[in-house]
Amino acid sequence: MQEDRRLAVLRAIVEDYVATEEPVGSKALVERHHLNVSPATIRNDMAALEDEGYLAQPHTSAGRVPTDKGYRLFVDRLSTVKPTSSAERRAIATFLDGAVDLDDVVHRSVRVLAQLTRQVAVVQYPSLSHSTVRHVEIVALTPTRLLVVLILSSGRVEQRLVELESDLAEADLAALRSRVNLAATGEVIAEAAAALNGLIRPEEGAPAPSAVTVSVVDTLVDAMSDHRSDERVVVGGTANLARFGDNFDTSVRPLLEALEEQVVLLKLLGEATGSGAVTVRIGAEGPYQELASTSVVATGYGPDDALASLGIVGPTRMDYPGSMAAVRAVARYMSRILDEN
């Protein structure tokens, strides 16, 4: 019971400190929370939590503030991620359902995540290497010009033009379209590329592929090997850092510098995790010592397996339950949109 009570005291201090930005004293805890114990007991619990490293006292006469260890215990003891409100769910759905393509989905997600959490939001573009081929369309624009369209599970659409040396009959075009889709559809990128290459490298004794088949397959494999989006991230809500100007040099300046480096942001987000799992890295748990006063809340998104990561970055003094709920909710909506498209 003593452990449960001290956890309740820690939870109350975290909530009050996040809300007020001021060290929390025993008197404030008695007034704001129904802990059903005397102020003296609360003071003893606060002293014990400080001795164990969960709280710190900035000044001799001040109240206590949570340490990174205290935030860690607070997050680990959250029984569940609190659900987003119906108003938040409607806002996310309305905003994201209006997206017209993958770029729009990513940019809208960054904006809504930054607005919900009042932190800096970071969204990684879906990784091409983790995508599967949904469909390949080949359209004859003219008798000697084809439009090849590659549609991936990530929502990414690649279009290429193929110029032919001679006219292509509609029946031959339909047969080529069928062979290409049979080889690639449903396969991850690497396996789809290998299967397509098999169409133009037949076994010994088999008929040689046509020049059209070679051109179309080479074009598709080239599109599949384009990894430009794998390292792209979009950032939003940088202006939210203005709320933490009192700690500019220690908290905000290093974070602002990090936001300019794509590689740093990708490492902050960490590896994409599936199954709706939300990861929280607090302070020095992160990969960069100069960002030890910041925390990252992140998760993976994708219709089946996680294709990429998204999350929020901000000072350790943040609303962890609310941030975790928002990150998970936006990831789920993004996954649904990619699955439907």
Measure the CA–CA gap between 113 and 237, rounded to whole angstroms: 8
Answer yes or no: do 239 and 196 share one domain.
no
Answer yes or no: do 181 and 242 share one domain.
no
Percent of the chain with pLDDT over 90: 43
Question: Which structure tokens are listed for 172?
Answer: 């031959």
Of 100, 186, 78, 75, the residue nearest 135 (C-alpha): 186
Nearest 5°: the CA angle 125, 286, 294 is 90
Measure the CA–CA gap between 176 and 182, rounded to whole angstroms: 10
Answer yes or no: do 153 and 7 share one domain.
no
User: pLDDT (tens digit, 9 = 90+) per residue, 283-340?
Assistant: 889 888 888 888 999 999 887 777 789 999 988 999 999 999 999 999 999 888 887 7
Q: What is the DSSP letter of 260?
A: T
Residue 183 belongs to a domain: yes
Residue 147 belongs to a domain: yes
Helix (H) or strand (E) holding 234: strand 233-236
Return the residue matching tokens 């960490």. Answer: 270
Answer yes or no: do 237 and 334 share one domain.
yes
44: domain CATH number?
Answer: 1.10.10.10
The pLDDT value given to residue 150: 92
Residue 142 belongs to a domain: yes
The pLDDT value given to residue 9: 93
According to DSSP, the β-strands at 157-163 and 233-236 are unpaired
Domain that holds residue 7: 2-76
The pLDDT value given to residue 73: 94
User: pLDDT (tens digit, 9 = 90+) per residue, 225-259?
Assistant: 865 555 688 999 988 887 765 565 566 777 888 88
The pLDDT value given to residue 256: 81
Measure the CA–CA gap between 59 and 119, rounded to whole angstroms: 28
User: pLDDT (tens digit, 9 = 90+) per residue, 77-106?
Assistant: 886 667 788 888 888 888 888 888 888 989
Crossing angle of helices 2-20/68-76, nearest 10°? 110
119: domain CATH number?
Answer: 3.30.450.40
Residue 53 belongs to a domain: yes
Answer yes or no: do 246 and 293 share one domain.
yes
189: domain CATH number?
Answer: 3.30.390.10
- Show which of 174, 195, 228 is a domain's final residue: 228
Measure the CA–CA gap between 257 and 183, rounded to whole angstroms: 46
Q: Average the pLDDT over each of 31-45, 64-78, 190-204, 253-267 and give the range with the smallest value.
A: 253-267
**Domains contained in the chain, number:** 3
CB 204 within 8 A of CB 182: no
Residue 18 belongs to a domain: yes
Residue 81 belongs to a domain: no
The set of residues, in sequence order, having a beta carbon less than 8 Å from that of 298 and lying 6+ positions away, is: 268, 269, 270, 273, 278, 279, 281, 309, 310, 311, 312, 327
Residue 282 belongs to a domain: yes
Average pLDDT score, the chain: 86
The pLDDT value given to residue 205: 66
Q: Which amino acid would we find at residue 281?
A: R
Distances (CA, A) of 82 to 75, 117, 245, 256, 327: 12, 14, 29, 29, 11
CB 217 within 8 A of CB 206: no
Measure the CA–CA gap between 14 and 17, rounded to whole angstroms: 5
User: pLDDT (tens digit, 9 = 90+) per residue, 124-144?
Assistant: 988 777 778 989 999 999 989
Answer yes or no: do 236 and 207 share one domain.
no
CB 241 within 8 A of CB 256: yes
Answer yes or no: do 143 and 201 share one domain.
yes
Give the residue, 105 or 261, on which the prediction is more confident.
105
3-state secondary structure at position 65? strand
User: pLDDT (tens digit, 9 = 90+) per residue, 18-60?
Assistant: 988 889 998 889 888 888 888 889 999 999 999 999 999 888 7
Answer yes or no: do 253 and 111 share one domain.
yes
- Show which of 228, 261, 281 is a domain's final residue: 228
- Show which of 228, 255, 276 is a domain's final residue: 228
Record the pTM: 0.79
Answer yes or no: do 266 and 295 share one domain.
yes
Q: Residue 124: beta bridge partners? A: 233
The pLDDT value given to residue 65: 94
Answer yes or no: do 198 and 163 share one domain.
yes
Mean pLDDT value of segment 167-195: 92
